[in-house]
């Protein structure tokens, strides 16, 4: 039964991917069922951008469902919610009017809420579910307000009509609609400071669901931001693009900073989703700014970079979440400090996780490198703009992208090294076992996708180029280069990951072969790790994740504001014998302290003030009704 359900969903994913591919290739289609839902009826339209996201959802849902087939914890409960979740995500990029969109959007949120509450016994999950529900509905309220506002101004709830009427709208209306819709979508995408739900909700769900939530669900927030900033509202003022760019810069750096000090493997990955959303926003923001300035080729480049990174992130983040799921299943914990040595016990999972780590750290020649390279180039060419303020925003983007790259590399040294290398730090890790065959198949497929997207930019970029041209309504670009080398912006720069891969492989194999021929391998002796003369090596002598991240905690202490607590219990006889040491070095979130807590306090104070009206006396309530009636009569 389990296998059947997940098999059907996987097949559904492949069909969705096919349909998405048809849409990207320019195939359009519309489905209208006016009787099905009130207020405009059900209306679905396939266009290139919607096709791209539909294809992405399908291609991510297929391996995630295959993984679900083999996941012994993931089955049973939550199958229906999972099916609804995947189906509603497929509907979102197809929706063509407000009603259809909001129904699909809300179904997606509710189904994922049910999946976050998978483990109903755990207090942590319940809290995660609660915060997720609040944040997602605050976002929904913004979307609803923005869409109703646009619908009322334009006089139609169909997105196609908005597109046509947008240039004629009053600037203030457009700005307000932009702010409302962008807030709603940014909340779903996890843009800082609306990210608080993400690191709680993603780890709480089963791993194949986390993979989809991080891989594609938050991408629908990106889909919405693309529609708002480049499509529905027409060409906006420069501050729209600048806001997105700055939000991207902030999200990318802060996301990775949080990930660095996080030692819950799945939460670490969730924070990296925030970082990658930031990188995608850098591309979108630059596209919007270039478009306002009339630099169509550059706008297309920025958009291609954003779309490429969207697809890449779906591939490697789904892979990493599935790998983390396999690890969590094998060890029974998400705490990295209790792992270690898994590369020998789960070689397939370790290999796939390593590919994912290298890809997300943007190491060449994998896919993350290609899209970050494109983003760098899009940001770099801001010299073509003649506005100092905007140029400075771009430099901020360049600096933050560079910093993010370095920090992400450091973070994944920790994530892979502490989890998979050295000696196991707990009995559970020592007794870990390899993932089941369907889980391995799913991970291998995604790892292959990371490699293929890395080596084949010359094939992939023209596809994204045509999608980008369709959104920006410019003629399709003639991206230069041949099958080997990708050229962007004329002859400005070129990239050839295939050449890098060949060169790396050649210079790796030549010394190796030389040593092999000379018979060097025979002069190798296996012995234990050197340890200054101590007798045995145990896992307690290993470096921990906390220690590994400590230099960063000290460098960025103005941001983490760590507090230190040290409890030492001495032996009753003598102070020179220590019985127990407890050390804690937690960091504090500036967003909780300075944004959410004051906001909640304000809200509660307001509620208390209003609560004074409620005395419980029926006479008083009658008086209220009378006053209200009188007021209405007077005002009317």
Partner 1 sequence: MIASLAVALVHIAVVGAGAPLLIGALGTLKARLVGRRGPSPWQPYADFRKLLAKEVVVSTTTSWVFRATPYLLVATSLVTALIVPVATVRPPLAFAGNIILLVYLFMLGTFFLALAGLDAGSAFGGMGSSREVAVAALAEPTVIVAVFALALRADTIDLGRIVERFGSEPHLALNPAHLLAFAAFFIVMLAETGRLPVDNPATHLELTMIHEAMVLEYSGRYLALVEWASAMKLFLFMTLLANLFVPWGLTEPTGPVAVLGGLLALAGKLSVLTLAVAVLETAVAKLRLFRVPELLAGSFALAFLSLMAVFLVR
Q: 479 to 498, contacts with partner 1 by CB under 8 A?
A: 485, 492-497
Q: Which two tokens stand for residue 37?
A: 């839902």
Judge contact between 216 and 272, C-beta under 8 A: no
Q: Which two tokens stand for residue 15?
A: 């069909």
Q: Exactly one of 41, 75, 234, 417 binds partner 1 (CB under 8 A); which one?
A: 417
Stretch that binds partner 1, among 41-49, 298-306, 358-366, 433-441 (CB under 8 A): 358-366
Report CA-CA distances (Å) from 409 to 14, 260, 354, 363. Answer: 33, 10, 12, 8
- Residue 547 near partner 1 by CB under 8 A: yes
- Residue 312 near partner 1 by CB under 8 A: no
Where in 363-402 is the site for partner 1 (CB under 8 A)? 363-364, 369, 372-373, 376-377, 380, 383, 388, 391-392, 395, 398-399, 402
- Residue 435 near partner 1 by CB under 8 A: no
- Residue 167 near partner 1 by CB under 8 A: no
CB of 384 to partner 1, least distance (A): 10
Residue 448 CA to residue 304 CA, distance in Å, equals 22
**Nearer Cβ to partner 1 (114/385):** 385
Judge contact between 453 and 312, C-beta under 8 A: yes
- Residue 413 near partner 1 by CB under 8 A: yes
- Residue 293 near partner 1 by CB under 8 A: no
Judge contact between 341 and 422, C-beta under 8 A: yes
**Nearer Cβ to partner 1 (111/254):** 254
**Which is nearest to 125 in space by CA: 196, 197, 203, 204?**
204
Q: Where do we find the tokens 């919405």?
A: 224
**Nearer Cβ to partner 1 (122/507):** 507
Question: Crossing angle for the helix pair 296-331 and 48-70, nearest 10 degrees?
Answer: 10
CB of 396 to partner 1, least distance (A): 9
Q: Exactly one of 90, 177, 326, 362 binds partner 1 (CB under 8 A); which one?
A: 362
Radius of gyration of the chain (CA): 27
Q: Exactly one of 64, 418, 443, 447 binds partner 1 (CB under 8 A); which one?
A: 418
**Nearer Cβ to partner 1 (284/408):** 408
The dihedral region occupied by 506, where left means phi > 0, alpha psi between -120 and 50, and beta the remainder, is alpha
With a CB cutoff of 8 Å and minimum separation 6, the contacts of 433 are 330, 345, 346
Stretch that binds partner 1, among 30-38, 82-90, 154-162, 538-546 (CB under 8 A): 538-546
With a CB cutoff of 8 Å and minimum separation 6, the contacts of 198 are 190, 218, 270, 271, 273, 274
Compute how many residues bind partner 1; rule: CB under 8 A: 79
Beta bridge partners of 43: 32
Q: Exactly one of 409, 444, 452, 595 binds partner 1 (CB under 8 A); which one?
A: 409
- Residue 590 near partner 1 by CB under 8 A: no
- Residue 321 near partner 1 by CB under 8 A: no
With a CB cutoff of 8 Å and minimum separation 6, the contacts of 171 are 237
3-class SS at 158? Answer: strand
Judge contact between 253 and 404, C-beta under 8 A: yes
- Residue 262 near partner 1 by CB under 8 A: no
Q: Where do we find the tokens 């032996």?
A: 571
Q: Is 296 exposed, middle or buried (0-12, 13-18, 19+ CB in 10 A)?
A: middle
CB of 444 to partner 1, least distance (A): 18
- Residue 603 near partner 1 by CB under 8 A: no
**Nearer Cβ to partner 1 (528/573):** 528
Q: Which one-letter DSSP state was computed for residue 564?
A: -
Give residue 583's Cα distance to chain centre. 32
Where in 495-524 is the site for partner 1 (CB under 8 A)? 495-497, 499-500, 503-505, 507-508, 511-512, 515, 520, 523-524
Q: Is 517 exposed, middle or buried (0-12, 13-18, 19+ CB in 10 A)?
A: exposed
CB of 295 to partner 1, least distance (A): 15
> Rounded to a whole number, what is the largest CA-CA distance in the chain?
102
With a CB cutoff of 8 Å and minimum separation 6, the contacts of 431 are none
**Nearer Cβ to partner 1 (287/401):** 401
Stretch that binds partner 1, among 267-275, 307-315, 427-435, 551-559 (CB under 8 A): 551-559
Stretch that binds partner 1, among 51-59, 94-102, 355-363, 434-442 (CB under 8 A): 355-363
CB of 552 to partner 1, least distance (A): 6
Interaction mask 444-483, partner 1, x per CB under 8 A: ----------------------------------------
Question: Crossing angle for the helix pair 367-380 and 347-360, nearest 10 degrees?
Answer: 10
Q: Is 131 exposed, middle or buried (0-12, 13-18, 19+ CB in 10 A)?
A: middle
Q: Exactly one of 144, 165, 179, 410 binds partner 1 (CB under 8 A); which one?
A: 410
**Nearer Cβ to partner 1 (333/546):** 546
CB of 308 to partner 1, least distance (A): 15
Where in 124-153 is the site for partner 1 (CB under 8 A)? none
Buried b (16+ CB within 10 A) or exposed e, 253-266: bbbbbbbbbbbbbb
- Residue 583 near partner 1 by CB under 8 A: no
**Nearer Cβ to partner 1 (183/393):** 393
- Residue 629 near partner 1 by CB under 8 A: no
Q: Exactly one of 89, 218, 281, 343 binds partner 1 (CB under 8 A); which one?
A: 343
CB of 524 to partner 1, least distance (A): 5
**Which is nearest to 473 in space by CA: 291, 302, 293?**
291
């Amino acid at each position: 039964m389990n296998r059947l359900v997940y098999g059907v969903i996987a097949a559904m994913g492949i069909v969705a991917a096919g349909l998405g591919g048809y849409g990207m290739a320019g195939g359009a289609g519309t489905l209208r069922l006016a009787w099905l839902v009130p207020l405009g009826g059900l209306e679905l339209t396939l266009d290139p951008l919607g096709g791209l996201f539909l294809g992405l959802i399908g291609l991510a849902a297929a391996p995630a469902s295959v993984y679900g087939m083999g996941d012994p914890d993931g089955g049973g409960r939550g199958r229906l919610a999972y099916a609804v979740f995947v189906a509603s995500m497929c509907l979102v990029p197809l929706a063509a009017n407000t009603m259809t969109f909001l129904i699909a959007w809300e179904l997606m949120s509710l189904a994922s809420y049910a999946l976050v509450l998978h483990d109903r016994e755990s207090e942590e999950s319940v809290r995660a579910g609660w915060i997720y529900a609040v944040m997602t509905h605050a976002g929904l309220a913004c979307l609803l307000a923005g869409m109703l506002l646009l619908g009322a101004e334009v006089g139609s709830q169909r997105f196609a009509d908005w597109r046509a009427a947008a240039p004629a709208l009053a600037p203030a209306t457009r700005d307000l609609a932009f702010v409302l819709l962008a807030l709603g979508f940014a909340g779903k995408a996890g843009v800082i400071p609306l990210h608080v739900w993400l690191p709680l909700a993603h780890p709480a769900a089963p791993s194949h669901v986390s993979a989809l939530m991080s891989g594609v669900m938050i991408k629908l927030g990106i889909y919405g931001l693309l529609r708002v900033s480049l499509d529905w509202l027409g060409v906006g003022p420069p501050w729209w693009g600048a806001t997105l760019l700055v939000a991207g810069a902030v999200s990318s750096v802060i996301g990775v900073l949080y990930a660095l000090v996080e030692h819950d493997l799945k939460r670490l990955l969730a924070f990296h989703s925030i970082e990658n959303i930031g990188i995608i926003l850098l591309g979108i923001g630059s596209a919007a700014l270039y478009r306002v300035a009339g630099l169509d080729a550059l706008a297309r480049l920025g958009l291609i970079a954003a779309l490429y990174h969207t697809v890449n992130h779906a591939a490697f983040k789904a892979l990493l979440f599935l790998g983390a799921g396999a690890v969590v299943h094998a060890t029974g914990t998400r705490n990295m400090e209790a792992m270690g040595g898994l590369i020998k016990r789960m070689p397939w999972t370790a290999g796939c996780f390593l590919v994912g780590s290298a890809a997300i750290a943007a190491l060449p020649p994998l896919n993350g490198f290609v899209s970050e390279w494109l983003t760098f180039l899009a940001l770099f060419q801001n010299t073509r703009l003649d506005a100092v303020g905007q140029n400075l925003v771009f430099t901020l983007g360049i600096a933050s992208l560079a910093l993010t790259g370095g920090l992400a590399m450091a973070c994944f040294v920790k994530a892979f090294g502490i989890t998979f290398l050295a000696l196991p730090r707990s009995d559970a890790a020592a007794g870990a076992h390899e993932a089941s065959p369907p889980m391995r198949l799913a991970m291998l497929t995604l790892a292959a996708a990371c490699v293929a997207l890395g080596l084949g930019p010359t094939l992939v970029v023209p596809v994204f180029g045509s999608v980008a041209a369709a959104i920006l309504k410019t003629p399709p670009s003639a991206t230069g280069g041949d099958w080997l080398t990708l050229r962007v912006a004329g002859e400005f720069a070129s990239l050839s990951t295939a050449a890098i891969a060949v060169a790396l492989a050649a210079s790796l194999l030549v010394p190796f072969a030389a040593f092999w021929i000379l018979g060097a391998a025979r002069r190798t002796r296996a012995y234990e790790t050197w340890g200054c003369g101590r007798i045995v090596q145990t896992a307690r002598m290993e470096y921990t994740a906390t220690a590994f991240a400590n230099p960063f905690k000290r460098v960025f202490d103005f941001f983490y504001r760590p507090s230190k607590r040290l409890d030492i219990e001495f032996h009753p006889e003598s102070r020179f014998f220590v019985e127990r040491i407890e050390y804690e070095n937690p960091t504090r979130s500036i967003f909780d302290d300075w944004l959410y807590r004051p906001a909640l306090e304000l809200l509660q104070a307001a509620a208390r003030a209003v609560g004074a009206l409620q005395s419980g006396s029926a006479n008083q309530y009658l008086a209220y009704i009378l006053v209200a009636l009188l007021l209405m009569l007077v005002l009317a």
